[in-house]
Amino acid sequence: MKQDISGDLENTRCPEIIKILSLGKRTGRLFLTNGAETGNIFFNEGHVIHAQCGSLSGTKAIYELAVWTSGEYRFHVDEVPHGTTIDMGMEEILAETTNRIRQMDKVTTLIPSSSIVYTLEPDIRERDLQLKSFQWKALANVDAKKSIAEIAQLIGYGVSDTMRIFYTLVKLGLIKEAVQTEVHRGFQPVILPDVPFIESLKMALIKAIGPIAPVIIMEISREMGIDLLSDTMEQKASLIETLSSRIPDERMSLKFLDDMTDWLKADGDHS
């Protein structure tokens, strides 16, 4: 019977282990640990057929495990998964994991740890934000309290993917590392008019995209030339529609639109 293999990830990275098990045409489960985190990669005669890391599965799990630089691994012979999540050639897997490691080496020169907490740059409200939906998801959770790892869990992304997003956000000048005083104080919010419509708008948008909502309301209103104190129904409806279009999550966008449409109807009934 073929023996289990084990070792230290500081000396042998995950892609190297995958290559060894593939060349040996091994069947079984590769179990990896990194602090409190764990992951599994299953092989069938040298082919990777399933992987799991936290809430991630398939190739996303492999790419997360590939960048671990500390921890331990052990291969358990002949253990098989209940299902298959990977149908990709070994050359493609190894090429992508190598690419991910190269990217993470670059990211960690700027962001050395997923435990770092970030806060919004004070001048973000003056910026023309053109971001992709996954970048919005991360930015919406930046509040000078949650770490990158905590935000990764909230948005359902791998830690390494989230660190790559934060690398871009830092490079764009949208966020900065929170110092101790900022962690307790938090980001100072934009001051919006204290009227029922704006208050309802702010609360609904916070539910959809997080604490950056007041900044977005101010930015969009300026972009559209809308007076936030205006009582014009057409301007309110236009602002609501535009804000809903900026919410990256379609379900949350529809919920925001429905809630604010209901608010406008109720307000119109009381007028």
pLDDT mean by block of 10 residues, the chain; 271 residues: 79 93 94 90 96 93 93 93 91 93 92 91 76 90 91 91 95 85 46 87 84 81 85 88 82 87 78 55
CB-CB neighbours of 75 under 10 Å: 23
Using an 8 Å Cβ cutoff, are 247 and 208 in contact? yes
End-to-end CA distance of the chain: give it in Å, rounded: 81
The most distant pair of C-alpha atoms in the chain lies apart, rounded to whole Å, by: 81
Using an 8 Å Cβ cutoff, are 81 and 49 in contact? yes
Nearest CA-CA partner of 183 in 106, 115, 236: 115
Using an 8 Å Cβ cutoff, are 9 and 32 in contact? yes
AA letter at 94: L
Provide the pLDDT for residue 129.
76
Nearest CA-CA partner of 257 in 209, 185, 205, 194: 205
Using an 8 Å Cβ cutoff, are 67 and 105 in contact? no
Give the pair of three-digit tokens for residue 105: 């080496």
Q: Which residue is associated with the tokens 């000078």?
A: 144
CB-CB neighbours of 175 under 10 Å: 21
Using an 8 Å Cβ cutoff, are 224 and 237 in contact? no
Provide the pLDDT for residue 189.
52
Nearest CA-CA partner of 148 in 104, 105, 109, 116: 116
Using an 8 Å Cβ cutoff, are 58 and 49 in contact? no
Q: What stretches of 4-81 show up as alpha helix (H) in DSSP?
A: 14-23, 59-66
DSSP state of 37: E
Provide the pLDDT for residue 126.
65
